[in-house]
Structure 1
Amino acid sequence: MPVFMIERRYADELELTADDADGVNRINADEGVQWLYSFLSADKRKTYCLYEAPSAEAIRRAAARAGLPADVVVEMTGTVRPDGSLTPL
């Protein structure tokens, strides 16, 4: 399944509860999307999230349903290691 990085920008600091995350995961499942993990910026107003999804559009649909921003959605094709090696996803 394709892997995507999503940048989300929030107007206020992000405060996510376990119930909030559960709701997002249920919506994602409806759209065939799986949230792998997220990085939170120091000011708690941006996240960089890694997802598996059939398409960028599926991510955008899930985000809209969950009331989340999806400012930038980029498909990832591989990883680059510190030694310069490239590994396909």
Structure 2
Amino acid sequence: MPKYVIERTIRGAGNLSRDELRQISRKSCSILNAMGPQVQWIESYVTDDKVYCVYIAPDAATLVQHALEGGFPADAINEIRTVIDPTTAE
């Protein structure tokens, strides 16, 4: 199943409280549970004004549906082609 990274612009994301992040996460998980097991949220990285989310999904359209249902921005959805890390240099 393809893996994707979603870029979401959320002004002030880095200043969201733990409770605010928990509420956003719960909303996302609720929508994912209704969508079924074919789409999975792996993790997200929060920066000052952006959130980068990693998902496994059958296609980008499924992730657009998740964003629309949750009211989450999805500025860019890109399929991850490969993963590299320091061991790639060996």
- Tell me which interval the TM-score lies in, with the shorter structure as reference length: 0.7 to 0.9
Q: 1:34 aligns with which of 40, 49, 54?
A: 40
Deviations 1:27-78 (A, max 9, x none): 123333211101111x2x2011110111100000000100000111001122
Distance between the aligned counterparts of 2:40 and 2:30, measured in 1?
10
Q: Select the structure that is richer in helix.
A: 2
TM-score (norm 1): 0.79
Shift of 1:80: 1.3
Kept in 2, the 8 Å contact 1:5–1:48? The answer is yes
How many correspondences in the alignment?
A: 82
Structure 1 stretches of at least 4 aligned residues deviating more than 4 Å after TM superposition: none
Greater alpha carbon shift after TM alignment, 54-63 vs 30-39: 30-39
Identity of aligned residues (%): 30
Q: Is the Cα contact below 8 Å between 1:9 and 1:71 reproduced in 2?
A: yes
Q: Cα RMSD (Å) of the superposition?
A: 1.6
**TM-score normalised by L of structure 2:** 0.78
- 39 and 17 in structure 1: CA distance in 2 versus 1, 3 angstrom threshold: closer
Alignment match, 2:4: 4
Distance in 2 of aligned mates of 1:55 and 1:30: 17
Higher relative contact order (CA 8 A, sep 6+): 2
Q: Which has the higher strand share?
A: 1
Residues in 1 aligned to 2:53 and 2:33: alpha-carbon distance in whole angstroms: 16
CA distance in 1, matches of 2:32, 2:5: 15
